[in-house]
Amino acid sequence: MLRRALLAAACLLPVAAAAQEAPFPSRTITLLVGFAPGGGTDILARLIAPRLSEELGQPVAVENRTGGGGTIAVVATARAKPDGHTVTLGTLSNNVQVPLAMKAAPFDPVRDVTPLVQVASVPLVMTVPASSPAKDVQGFVALAKAAPGRLNFASNGVGTSQHMAAELFMLATGTRMVHVPYRGSGPASLDLAADVVQVNFDTLSTVLPHIRAERLRGLAVTTRERSEQLPGVPTMIESGIAGYDIDLWYMLCGPAGLPEAVAQRWAEAMNRALADQGFRRKLVEAGFGPAGGTPAAASALVRADIARYGEVIRRAGITLE
């Protein structure tokens, strides 16, 4: 009986080893989003998840992990098993800017995260309620200067791109407003439309439906070039704010220690999806600029923006406890 038991166990060893070494992907993939439903990151995640599922041959489930300016989702990915089955749709905001602003960041943007591929980029749009008397940027500046410290601006949290854009705007224009942080762009946009807050610098993909429905008014885009989706909205530079140039990238990221072959598999899957012209058109219509590339290019972008925004955060005096 002992010999039979040992023989049976020996026969099972190759099966167990094969199960442990199953190539990626071998089960459902979790795509974490650091912000609430309805915002730009959530919109993009739900656009790419079905296509990634097709490319990878496994279900891709989007899961919102809000809080900490989006960093809770990044931390969850950093602590996940490095096998490729848990990734984050990270952004410039929660992967770079927020941890740089924190006194004690819960993760290191370089050491604890593996950039996989840039998915897209998007401009921010300076947006006000449709009922606002401000018809352009200079009109809003006049309102803010007439009521210093009485107008509110929304953001996705302290240190996020939305927060930084507003801080830089105040520095450039000599205005003073009150910061009202939210857990995501969805609730922030609703309060903006209701005039609970008076301005937001949010992603084009988030505010575009509200602008088209005339609930919000776009005053300016934050990039050097106008947006194809909002050709009638000028840039901040055209509006008299010299040198104002901000955009927001989205990037698939995994935990540190991810095997190179798995990282390449993720990049290949995303690049194949982005090569489909119909899918690219869908992203553009939603307000995103499709990107793509390699893990090396994604890593280089993260490092470059750590250097760039570290200086911006220092100048603006942004600190997150």
Q: Residue 38 contacts by C-beta under 8 Å, 6 or more apart in sequence?
A: 184, 185, 186, 187, 189, 206
Band of residue 20 on the pLDDT scale cut at 50, 70, 90: low
- Tokens 């800017």 correspond to 97
Please compute Rg for the chain using Cα positions. 22
Q: How far is CA 44 from the centre of its chain?
A: 9
Confidence of residue 4 (pLDDT cuts 50, 70, 90): low
Give the three-state DSSP class for 311: helix
Q: Tell me the mean pLDDT in the region 223-238.
A: 94
Those residues with Cβ within 8 angstroms of residue 306's Cβ, 6 or more apart along the chain or in another chain: 96, 100, 109, 110
Question: With 90 as the cut, is the pLDDT of residue 313 above it?
Answer: no
Interval 59-108: pLDDT, tens: 999 999 998 889 999 999 999 999 999 999 999 999 999 999 998 999 99
pLDDT category of residue 246 using cuts at 50, 70 and 90: confident
Domains and CATH numbers, the chain: 28-121+248-316 (3.40.190.150), 123-221 (3.40.190.10)
d(CA 165, CA 179): 12
For the cut 70, the answer to whether the pLDDT of residue 11 exceeds it is no
Angle, CA of 151, 154 and 156, to the nearest 5°: 160
* Beta-carbon contacts of residue 41 (< 8 Å; ≥ 6 apart): 33, 34, 35, 70, 89, 91, 184, 185, 250
Question: Residue 290 pLDDT > 70, yes or no?
Answer: yes
Bin 169: left if φ > 0, else alpha if -120 < ψ < 50, else beta: alpha
DSSP structural state of residue 25: P
pLDDT tens for 119-166 read 999 999 999 999 999 999 999 999 999 999 999 999 988 888 899 899
Residue 319 is given by DSSP the state -
Please tell me which residue, 185 or 267, carries the higher pLDDT value.
Answer: 267
Which CA distances in Å does 313 have to 97, 155, 266, 303, 317? 8, 16, 32, 15, 6
Q: Report which residue type is found at 203.
A: T
Residue 254, classified by CB atoms within 10 Å of its CB into exposed (0-12), middle (13-18) or buried (19+), is: buried
Question: CB under 8 Å to 18, separation ≥6 — which residues?
Answer: none
Residue 281 has pLDDT above 60, yes or no: yes
Contact predicate 230/204, CB 8 Å: yes
* Rounded Cα distance, 92 and 34, in Å: 12
pTM of the model: 0.80
